[in-house]
Structure formats: structure tokens, C-alpha cells
Amino acid sequence: MKWLRPRARRPRGVTIIALMLLGQALVWMATGTLHFSELPSLRLPATDTSYFNLALVGLNLVIALGMLLLRPWAWMAAMTVQGISLGAGLWAYYLGTPDFLLMGTSVLVVLYLNLHEVRRPFGVEDLRLRWNAGQEEPDELP
Amino acid sequence: MNSPDGHADLELLRRFEPQIRFNRGELFYPVDVDAFLLHTDLLLHRKGEDSTVLIPRPQATQEAIAGCDKDIHAGALHLRLVDRPLNTLQLVQFHARSDLREFRKGVTRHARVGLVARLLDVVFRISLLARGRVPGGTAAAAAIAYETMRETAPSPVYYGRVERTYDYTSLQYWFFYAYNDYRSHFHGANDHEGDWEMVSVFLSHDESGAPIPEWAAFAAHDGKGADLRRRWDDPELRKVGEHPIVYAGAGSHAAHFSPGEYIIRARIPLLARLERAIATVKSVWRTALRQGGTSRAERDGHLDVAFVDYARGDGRCIGPGTDIPWEARLLDEQPALVHYPGLWGRYLDDPIRGEDAPAGPRFNRDGSVRTAWYDPVGWSELTAVPSASREIPTAQAELTRLNEEAAALGPRIARAEDEATRLGVRVAALRDGSPSSRHLGECEGRLAEARETVSRLRHSLSETELLARSIGARVERLKQGDRGDPRGHLRRPDVPQQPSQLRLHRLAETWSAISAGLLLLVIGTVAIVYHAALLPFFLLFAAFLFVESLFHRRVAALVHGFVMTLALTALAVLAYEFWWQIAVALALGLGATITWTNLRELTRR
């Protein structure tokens, strides 16, 4: 199972984020299920962000696994999901129904994932080299 | 130190004269300045006044303009080639029969750069309305005048200059073009009358005195420094026998080493402060906050307008190996080239000088002497680079000097150590039972100084030995014929752009041509329909950026930038909503950390 081996030594924070994503997915799954529950006694009031959350559950699970294995796509996907989450959070804030916990968590995750020492083990220090290999603008080379 | 023997200089210049390959559609080639001057007037422009003619055509000969006794500080002394630009009908007729029809622009410049550069391009174009600008139809009129010049002086000319310095003989080839039509005919940055370009070849000499070509330096767009030169064995420097090949930019006539299309970036001076602010923020972001960016190669906060310099070399070729030979002249025998301090074409008082004609080979526009004239070796940063024939002796001499230095340091260290030991004995004795504490303090001070001296001398010896070893290794490599990387001196050389950088060329070009204008039009429409609603603007801009990133293969970079923007916005919102709680949390965190650290230190003791 070579593909299950991480590419490099995993930073502790990445493990925490992966576990957090797993936990977040489980919570969203539970709350999302409860929003749509048929039993009125179990149904929670749906907020504007909860539909987003439910859609992100599956994605979160895959990303969490990719993060544990330090896959470059998982880093990009995690950033994207946090971006969507932040967009939803800011939109909810604009509408007057803010979810500050969601926003705060996402901000911390994004800033942590963007640190040099976290990007290095994922191999995403240079996004243009990683995803557009050989497409450097020649006039910008050092 | 010039050679008194003009004939020998001319022979030397002839031996290494370059071949220039022009782009298809080029209208102006190096011309005889005497033929040019027959079609020009000499004028003086005083601030706030119209230019007055000092010498009308055809009396403005080299001798006449070189002897013009008007003080350069009285105003701008300049020539004028075109006094009446072509009208629209004449322009249509000109374009219908000119060589310009042969020019193919390829991928447009807008498709090669990002949205910001294209929006800045709009600013640049508007600035042309406010700045002094060569009137439309001038380039075409100059092209017609140039054809007339060629009737009297058909051969292309260069003006050569030989300068001998301690280590190098520098051969300068100066080319004069009647007009720079880069903007009006090749979508470039500027137009101006008169255009001087220069190519240098640097020679050393072997034991018999025979010349050995070492370096070639090509001037491009007023640049200077090490990036302009290539070592003679660098594969990028193409040659026909002993003649370097120059690829001239279409209209700009800037010299390049490789054929291709170059992106030239023009800075907007008004945005310099903003550029510095962006660079500072980026630096804090990367170093203090340890945050990553999009690409390691990205430039720091540069806001500039991009132009393409077409130097494909697919047009006319002039010089050795072609059927159009050069006519060589010695520059020092041309009075106007040596003594005329004014401009070689129309003066428009352009604040950023792009549309003003240049001064001659010797002078800058402000009347000061060009670096390339008084220090041709320093101009291309060759001053500290020994020639091949002197590289080994120079390195060996330096090695000997360092070894002597190291040998001299040995006894000095021994003396300093002896001094320190003696002072150590005194201090120990004084500590055992001194009648005077003042004497002890004095001795301790001298001992500290002696210790410092020993340490400094030992450090110096260690550094000298290390340097000597490096130089020794270099001497060995040089003896084996290894001169090191021929491109090791290059920091940011110009490289032609790869067309493969764009996806879906035609579509990308169409998008690039319309997007900047379309964005402004749609924003205006949305503002009318939705008034001050933020979301439509936001979505619209995001959609534009997405399409843009698709064409430029930067989707990952776009997503990253987008997420970071959202994160910083959210951070600002959180800081605004919870500033008090954040301040309290920071204070509590800081207090807890200090207490914990101090307690740990206490318990470890």
C-alpha cells in the first residue's frame, strides 16, 4: 500500500487539521441530518450556512485522508473548502446571521496551511511550478 | 587611451563587426548621419516658448551643429527631421505600399500579460494625451524622408570607436537610425526621431599581441550592467565567424542576443510609491508572518505596462555573411558625434523622456557624458573581471599576496598571545593580594584588549587561509581550461517569451483585446442597474479573473489568492467584532506564557 504512505514527515498541525476536518464532517453530518429530520422534536433550526455544510461533508472526508497522506491536491482542496466556508461565513455576516466560530476556525486553518513549513511537505511551495510545470514566465526567472 | 593609428583601429573594428538581423516590416536601417543631417533643421527650445530655428536645412552639417556655440543650458538644442507629418489620406497611401505589410505581430501583447497590466496600459495611453507626444503621421513622413536619404547614401553605416584600457580593448559600434517607430508601427512604448544603438566587443591580447575576443555587450532600452554582456563562449552569443549576430527589435532597434519576442516592461513613475508599499507588505507577509505566496519567481509589487519587442531576425540582414556590407567610419573623426551635445531629433518636453529624441554617442539628454563613453568597461560591469589571458596571473598574484599575509599573521599572533599570557600572570598575581585595586582594574582592561587582539588575528588568519584555498582551487580549474559558468554573471537577462505559455491562442487574444474595456463597460452598466449593490460587482470581477486565469494557466494561483483575500477579510471582521476579547485573550496569553517560563526557570535552578 505504497500510496497510503505520507510523502514526508507530517507537521503536527496538519494531523490536527485533518482530524478536525473529520470531526467537522461528522458534526455537519449529524446537524445536517437533524435539519432535515422528519421528527420535529429532533429538527434543529436551519441556518443559511448549514446547507453548505452538508454539501461539504463528503468532500471533507476525502480531503482529511489526503491531508494525512500529505498529497498536494489535498492541500489545494483544503484551502478551497476553507475558502468556500469563509465565503459562506462572510455572506452570512453580511445578511446579519454571522457564524463567527466557523469564520474563526477557517481563518486559522487557512493561515496555518499557508505557512512555508506546512506548504513544504505538501510540495506546494510554488503553485505555478506545481500545477503549471515548465510554464514559468521567462522574464520573471531570477 | 586611443590608438593614434586610425587605420589599425578601423581594421580591428572591421574584423569583429556585427551582423544585424532585423524583423520583417522594419522601415529604418542604420544610416549615414551626413545624409540624415541634410534633411534636418537645428533648433533651440526655451522653456515656455516655441522652438526657434538656428540652422535651417540643408546647412545643418556635422561641422555646423558641432560648432553651434549655443549653451546647452539656454534651452534644449535639438534637430528636427519631420516638420509636416502626413495627413490621413497620405497615411493610407503610405501603408498600402510600405514594408510594414510584411510584419506579423503574432500573439498580441495584451494576451501575454495579466489584467492589471492591461488596465495600467489604459492609464499609460491616457498619459500620452497629457505628455508631449510625437504627432501621428510623423513616423510615416520620417520613413519617406529616410528613403530619400538612402538615394544619396545607400550603404548602411556604423561609427566605430576603439578604447584601450588596462586589460581590455573595447570596440564600440554605434548605429544611427533616422527614426524609432516602435509605438506607431509595432504597438510599442514610444516614438522618437533619431535613434542611437550600440554594440560592444571586448578584446584581450595574447603574448604576441594578437586580439582575443572575450565578451560582447548589446545595448537595449537604455540598460547597463552585467546582464547586457555575454562571454564569447556562451552559446547564446551567436556568431558568423568572428562576427557576433545581433537581433534588432522592430522599430525600437534594441539589440538582443537570441531571436524571439521579448516582453519589455515600462514603469509608471507615479505608481512608484504604491509599488514600494506593496513590496513592503509582501515582505512582511513572507518573512515575519512566514506565509507563502503564489510563486517563488513572482516579482515584488511591480506595476508596469508591458510591450513586445519583436526581434525575430526574419527580415533584412546587414553585415558580414550577407549581401549588404557595412560602411565603417571612425567615430572620433565625426565632429557632430563627438562635440554636438543636443538631441538628434524632435524635442517634446516629455516628462518621462520616452518621446524625446536621444542625444549622441557621447552625451546624455541632460548634457552629461554617457557612462558607455568615458568608461566602456565599467558600463557593462567588466571592471573587476580579468581577461582570460590575465585571469591566471592575477589569481596567482592574489594567492601569493594572501599566503604572504597569512605568513605575516603567524608572528603577530605569537606576539599577541605572549602579551596576553604575560598580562594573565600579572592579573593572577594582583588578584592573589594586590595593594591597589586600581592597578588590578587597569591590568584586567589590558588583558581583555590582548585577548580581543588574539581572537581578531586568529579570525583574520582563518579567513585568509580559507580565501587562499578557494583561489588556489580556482587557479587549478583555470589551468585545466575551466573558466566557470559563462552565464554565472547574469542576474536577470532578457529571455524571449515562449508562445506555449498561452492556452487557446486566438480565443485568449480576443479575450485580452476586449476584457479590460469590457470590464469597465460592464461595471458601469451594473452600477446603473444595481446602484451600490456589492455582490454583482464582486461576482462580475471574480468571473473575469477566473476566465483570465484559465487563459494564463493560473487557476491554482487564483484560487489561492482568492482564499487568502477571504481569510484576511474574515480576520478583519473578527478583529472588528471581537477586538476587546482579542485584546484580553492576548494579555492573558502573554501573562500565562511569561509566568510559565519564569516558573520553569525557577524550578530548574
DSSP letters along B200-230, please? EEEEEE-TT--EEEEEEEE--TT--SGGGEE
Q: Using the Cα atoms of residue B4, residue B10, residue B11 and residue B13 in order, give the sign of their dihedral.
A: positive
**Count of Cβ atoms closer than 10 Å to residue B375 Cβ:** 16
Instruction: State ipTM.
Output: 0.78
Interval B30-37 mean pLDDT = 96
The beta-carbon neighbor of B554 closest among A103, A111, A128 is A128
pLDDT tier, A140 (very low <50, low <70, confident <90, very high otherwise): very low
CA A51 – CA A110 distance, rounded (Å): 22
**Eight-class DSSP state of B4:** S
Report pLDDT for B69: 63
For helices A50-68 and A12-35, angle between their N-to-C axes, nearest 10 degrees: 150
pLDDT one-digit tens code per residue, B520-562: 788 778 777 776 666 777 777 788 888 877 777 778 888 898 8
What is the pLDDT at residue A16? 87
Mean pLDDT of chain B: 87
Angle between helices A100-113 and A72-95 (to 10 degrees): 150
Over residues A49-90, the pLDDT tens digits come to 566 666 667 787 888 888 888 888 999 999 998 898 899 899
CB contact under 8 A, B559 and A80: yes
**Confidence check: pLDDT of B123 > 80:** no
Determine, for residues B574 and A114 on separate chains, whether the beta-carbon distance falls below 8 Å: no
Burial class (CB in 10 A: 0-12, 13-18, 19+), B393: exposed
- Confidence bin at A7 (pLDDT 50/70/90): low
Longest pairwise C-alpha distance within chain B: 109
- Measured over all CA atoms, what is the biggest interatomic distance in chain A, rounded to whole angstroms? 65
Q: For residues B320 and B242, what is the distance between their CA atoms, to the nearest angstrom?
A: 10
pLDDT (tens digit, 9 = 90+) per residue, B158-208? 999 999 988 899 999 999 999 999 988 998 888 999 999 999 999 998 888
User: Are B54 and B212 a contacting pair, CB within 8 Å?
Assistant: no
Higher per-residue confidence, B471 vs B283 = B471
Average pLDDT over residues B310-320: 95
Q: In chain A, what residues touch B577 (CB-CB under 8 Å)?
A: 98, 100
The answer to whether residue A141 neighbours chain B at the CB level (below 8 Å) is yes
> How far is residue B446's CA from residue B419's CA, in Å, rounded to a whole number?
10
Pairing relation of β-strands B239-240 and B243-248?
antiparallel
> Which grid coordinates are listed for B225?
550592467
pLDDT of residue B382: 92
The predicted structure's pLDDT at residue A117: 86
Q: Do A103 and B497 touch (CB under 8 A)?
A: no
A77–chain B Cβ distance below 8 A for any pair? no
pLDDT band at B369 (very low <50, low <70, confident <90, very high): very high
The model's pTM: 0.75
Q: Is the pLDDT of residue B481 over 70?
A: yes
User: Cell 505520507 belongs to which residue?
Assistant: A6
Q: Which residues of chain B make contact with A116, given a CB cutoff of 8 A?
A: 290-292
Query: Is B501 touching A (CB cutoff 8 A)?
Result: yes
* A101 against B216, higher pLDDT: B216
DSSP B390: H
B299 min Cα distance to partner chain A (Å): 7
Q: For residue A1, what pLDDT is reported?
A: 56
User: What distance in Å separates residue A39's CA from the closest CA in chain B?
Assistant: 36
Distance from CA of A132 to the nearest CA of B (A): 7
- Reference A110, options B270, B11, B559, B300; nearest CA is B559
Residue B109 scores a pLDDT above 50? yes
Burial of residue B446 (CB within 10 Å: 0-12, 13-18, 19+) is middle
Any A CB within 8 A of B571 CB: yes
Is there a contact between A135 and B497 if contact means CB atoms under 8 Å apart? Answer: no
DSSP secondary structure, B501-552, as one string: GSSSHHHHHHHHHHHHHHHHHHHHHHHHHHTT-HHHHHHHHHHHHHHHHHHT
- Are A103 and B554 within 8 A, CB to CB? no
Q: Which helix (H) or strand (E) holds B440?
A: helix B437-479
Model confidence at B242: pLDDT above 70: yes
Among A121-130, B437-446, B509-518, B563-572, the range with the most confident prediction by mean pLDDT is: B563-572
